[in-house]
């Protein structure tokens, strides 16, 4: 079958949830439905014993117009309810998409100098902090939240915790720095989630041991920093389905264009290989604007294309916020739908409830129309 009423079949079949049955043998009971319908028709044809004997049927015939279709409505509803109950006996289950709670959320926040811009009231960084705090407040107590701040380098400022005051004070400690390294932000977030894995963070983080400027001694000569344990040779990570990691997500907020650190697209590829979703929030206007503060003046152009690409690669979503309210709304949406899980669920109760509703409707209609319950 290619189409139904001009609608392509592929679209219709997408609408019908795939239903499977635990006791499919019970489906044979559905044969009772046509049987009952047949009995109903037979009963209709049979002469009624309790008929109302009326002297002048000609008058009644004159007044009645055609068959009263309404009388068949409640029985039809009852039959449908009966069929649903029979279906329920086969214990149907369906793949349903359910929002599932994430255990860990990493908030990766841009703390570059451009966040000082006051195009958002009172300033971008203040709005971002307020929104982040509100988001933290909205999270259930058992969700662990970690905070990664990134400018030219990225740093885990608060390891994942359920301690909300600690999170708030970590946000309060934000200090604006130069540069924007979205890729590093993602990598630090990933390494927070997967501490045992070896992400190439140190390569670009200038505060790491063994580096001087862009020159990495260890890369060249090997060796370990003081107090650093030799890491096991990186086991090749087997890529998983993008977006399949259910335990944690990364929410990355930035207002600018990457000008330092690890390649964001490469970082996104890694995130997708680990199945981690990276929700990206672009803050500020897409038009490049000059931000002046303290004698400095810089361009802060939002790189929407890159953010969208990151979100796409990791099966997440990109949001754009131009005001504090926007940002709040974005975080609201995020706190509701981070991870959607499809689960096989028995929907017998749903069938039974629907049947009950149909029966109630049948009885209600019958009462209002014919003053009797069926």
Interaction site with other proteins (CB under 8 A) = 47-48, 50-57, 59-65, 67-68, 70-71, 369-372
Dist CA 54 CA 342 (whole Å): 63
- List of long-range contacts for 197-201, beta carbons under 8 Å, 24+ apart: 197/234, 197/237, 197/274, 198/231, 198/232, 198/234, 199/270, 200/262, 201/154, 201/262
Angle between helix 164-172 and 124-138 (nearest 10)? 180
Residue 249's DSSP bridge partners are: 105, 277
Please identify, using beta-carbon distances, which residue of 54 and 212 lies nearer to other proteins: 54
From residue 59, how far is each of 47, 50, 79, 367 by CA, in Å?
A: 20, 20, 34, 26
Shortest Å distance, C-beta 359 to other proteins: 19
Q: Return the exposure string of 69-95: e unless at least 16 CB atoms fall within 10 Å of the residue's CB, then b.
A: eeeeebbebbbbbbbbbbbbbbbbbbe
Shortest Å distance, C-beta 44 to other proteins: 8
Dist CA 373 CA 366 (whole Å): 6
Shortest Å distance, C-beta 77 to other proteins: 15
Q: Decide the pairing of beta strands 3-4 and 7-8.
A: antiparallel
Please identify, using beta-carbon distances, which residue of 297 and 368 lies nearer to other proteins: 368
Please identify, using beta-carbon distances, which residue of 31 and 51 lies nearer to other proteins: 51
Neighbours of 212 (CB within 10 A): 8
Residue 182's DSSP bridge partners are: none
Please identify, using beta-carbon distances, which residue of 66 and 295 lies nearer to other proteins: 66
Please identify, using beta-carbon distances, which residue of 67 and 165 lies nearer to other proteins: 67
Neighbours of 60 (CB within 10 A): 10
Please identify, using beta-carbon distances, which residue of 44 and 286 lies nearer to other proteins: 44
Shortest Å distance, C-beta 368 to other proteins: 9
Please identify, using beta-carbon distances, which residue of 48 and 229 lies nearer to other proteins: 48
Dist CA 306 CA 264 (whole Å): 8
Please identify, using beta-carbon distances, which residue of 24 and 68 lies nearer to other proteins: 68
Please identify, using beta-carbon distances, which residue of 229 and 372 lies nearer to other proteins: 372
Q: Indicate the SS3 state at residue 326.
A: helix
Shortest Å distance, C-beta 55 to other proteins: 4
With a CB cutoff of 8 Å and minimum separation 6, the contacts of 105 are 139, 143, 144, 145, 146, 248, 249, 250, 251, 338
């Amino acid at each position: 079958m290619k189409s139904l009423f001009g609608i392509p079949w592929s679209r219709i079949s997408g609408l019908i949830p795939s239903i499977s049955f635990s006791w499919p043998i019970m489906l044979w009971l559905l044969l009772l439905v046509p049987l009952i319908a047949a009995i109903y028709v037979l009963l209709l044809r049979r002469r009624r014993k309790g008929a109302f004997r009326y002297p002048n049927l000609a008058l009644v015939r004159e007044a009645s117009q055609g068959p009263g279709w309404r009388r068949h409505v409640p029985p039809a509803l009852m039959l449908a309810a009966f069929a649903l109950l029979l279906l329920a006996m086969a214990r149907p289950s369906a793949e349903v998409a359910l929002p599932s709670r994430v255990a860990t959320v990493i908030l990766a926040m841009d703390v570059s100098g451009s966040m000082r811009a006051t195009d958002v009231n009172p300033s971008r960084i203040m709005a971002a902090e307020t929104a982040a705090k509100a988001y933290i407040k909205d999270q259930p107590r058992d969700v662990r939240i970690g905070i990664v701040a990134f400018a030219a380098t990225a740093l885990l400022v608060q390891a994942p915790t359920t301690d909300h005051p600690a999170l708030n004070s970590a946000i309060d400690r934000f200090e604006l720095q130069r540069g924007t390294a979205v890729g590093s932000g993602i990598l630090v977030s990933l390494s927070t989630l997967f501490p045992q894995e070896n992400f190439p963070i140190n390569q670009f983080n200038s505060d790491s041991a063994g580096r001087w400027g862009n020159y990495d001694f260890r890369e060249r000569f090997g060796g370990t920093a003081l107090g650093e344990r030799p890491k096991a040779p990186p086991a090749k990570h087997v890529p998983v389905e993008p977006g399949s990691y259910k335990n944690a997500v990364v929410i990355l907020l930035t207002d600018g264009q990457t000008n330092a650190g690890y390649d964001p697209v490469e970082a996104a590829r890694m995130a997708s290989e680990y199945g981690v979703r990276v929700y990206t929030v672009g803050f500020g206007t897409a038009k490049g604007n000059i931000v002046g503060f303290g004698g400095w003046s810089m361009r802060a152009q939002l790189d929407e294309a890159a953010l969208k690409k990151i979100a796409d690669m990791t099966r997440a979503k990109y949001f754009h916020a131009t005001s504090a309210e926007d940002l709040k709304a974005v975080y609201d949406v995020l706190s509701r739908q981070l991870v959607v899980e499809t689960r096989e669920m028995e929907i017998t109760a749903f069938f039974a409830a629907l049947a009950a509703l149909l029966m109630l409707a049948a009885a209600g209609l019958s009462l209002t129309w014919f003053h009797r319950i069926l």
